[in-house]
Amino acid sequence: MRWISLTKYVGALAMFAAVTVHAQTPPAPPPSDPPAAAVGASVNLSIPQMVEGVATLEIQIADDARKMFQLRDVARKDKDVVKLTCVNDRLVELKAQQNIYDQEKQQFSASTSASNTAGAAPSYGVLRSTAEEIKKLRGATEACIGVPELYKQESDVDVSHPDFPDDPTTTDPFEPTFEDVEPPGYASPFA
């Protein structure tokens, strides 16, 4: 009798181990960064041109961040929790993109100080793609708040309907009507 309960426990343990092994997901492959290399490989600029481009990217990123913080203030002012949550999520993504930008800018600065065009080009490509991602985040933040996107297709709506009987808007209420109106009867003390 003791062996029967022991075999039940061993069988249950074996079943549990099989399910656990089967349920494990395969490990994620190590992160690779071929898009950054591909973006950087297509850049054929000199170092001064890249430095000038980085300066304009910094201005654009600062402007985008400032606008996103203004939109957060708008959501706070409206006391709309849904909009505020959406904007805060985008601000977290903005902070991550800014960290990536700062790290790549350090690598870019190191490459440009050594006059290494081959090393600066991939970093410049990553800087450009990060700035584009930040611009997309700004657009997503504006969509959260409800800022219209350039008034896409404003159109008129023409509604046709059947005539309404006794519609007060079809006649002018201040224009006298020429109906036969019986004058009021006056009361007389002698009648």
Q: What is the DSSP letter of 108?
A: H
d(CA 126, CA 134): 12
Q: Encoding tokens for residue 168?
A: 């007060």
Q: What is the pLDDT along the chain (191 residues), one digit of tens a residue?
A: 565 677 777 777 777 777 776 665 555 555 555 444 444 445 678 888 888 999 999 999 999 999 999 999 988 998 889 999 999 999 999 999 999 999 999 998 888 888 877 888 888 999 999 999 999 999 999 988 886 555 556 666 777 877 776 676 776 666 766 677 777 777 777 75
165: in domain: no
86: in domain: yes
In this predicted structure, what is the pLDDT of residue 173? 63
Provide the domain count of the chain: 1
162: in domain: no
76: in domain: yes
In this predicted structure, what is the pLDDT of residue 37? 44
29: in domain: no
SS3 content of the chain, % helix, strand, coil (to 5): 65, 0, 35
